[in-house]
Copies of this chain bind each other. A is one copy, B any other.
């Protein structure tokens, strides 16, 4: 029976997870799905649009944390960021895909909405909360991107040389520093 948009997105997630963005071409996708390339364009408008859906799918496994009390909001934020990191870290080039989705259709990424919500709950005023979210998301995606570029480069040279540990410490350190800075900037935040 007929190909569906869902199948297309799932196949794209599969190729991305296994081989990375360089191998995720419309032609390869078509081959994998046993259709001609043109067929894909009946289901999606463009490759970019497809990638936005791929990005959303990558975050599907991240559950919405329970709404915290103001005092606990920073902890929920840290927890959510760790969840996002672990959902993305094993998928090659996921940071790049997320960045595209964020600028093309930010509303399609639910967890980013939660992040904003929790920041406000913690006591960060409306306007600064969107700034603060930017800082946190830049850190999240930046950390993932540099981890993945390190993996990609060492895979070409000597495989299995990347210390996952260092990257994780660096990530946690950054989250801690940023949250502390927010507390200082906004006295309402604990």
Give the interface of A toward B (CB within 8 A): 99-100, 102-104, 128, 130-132, 134-135, 137-139, 141-143, 145-146, 149-150, 153, 169-170, 173-174, 176-185
Contact call A135/B103, Cβ cutoff below 8 A: no
Closest beta carbon of chain B to A5's beta carbon, Å: 23
Q: List 19 A-B contacts (CB under 8 A).
A: A99-B145, A102-B146, A103-B150, A131-B173, A132-B177, A137-B142, A138-B141, A138-B174, A139-B139, A142-B142, A173-B185, A176-B181, A176-B185, A177-B178, A177-B182, A178-B181, A180-B184, A181-B181, A181-B182
Most buried by B among A103, A135, A149, A178: A135
Closest beta carbon of chain B to A185's beta carbon, Å: 5
For A103, list chain B residues within 8 Å (CB).
146, 149-150, 153
